[in-house]
Amino acid sequence: MGTEREGERHEGELNEGSGGHDRRAATARFTLAIVLSTVAGLVAWMWFAIVVEDTWGDECKARAAGQSGVTFLIAFGVVPLLLVTAGAVAALIGFAPGVRGGKVWRGLVSAIVITAAGVLLAWWATDGMLVAHLALGSGCLA
């Protein structure tokens, strides 16, 4: 009987050890999700800044022709940004370690930090004009 208890204890120790391995693997997956989501988020924000600048620069010509660049901005700037952000949030929540509440919290906080970094990068890349450029057509003569 003594050997069975030792066997049970030994089996339990193995499970704890594999639990530690599982925890390390979960942390590694979450770290990879953070890195990939950060890269994707920053690229998406830079792309958005490029599209906003291009649309803003051509808006006066488009208005003179009875058109608007808003459709272009939405299709090629806003939609890709939203899709990448949604994918990043899903990956961050899905790979965050812990129980459901903790996973959602860690995933959302990570997504907010990545989004803030993306906004700051896009703002910096446009020399602080990102928000001003969103006022499409504001510099056009009537």
Phi, psi of 67 (to 5 degrees): -115, -175
Mean pLDDT by 10 residues, the chain (142 residues): 47 46 86 94 95 86 84 93 94 84 85 93 88 73 60
Q: What is the pTM of this model?
A: 0.76
Structure tokens at 2: 């003594």
Return the residue matching tokens 């970094």.
117
pLDDT at 19: 57
pLDDT at 113: 93
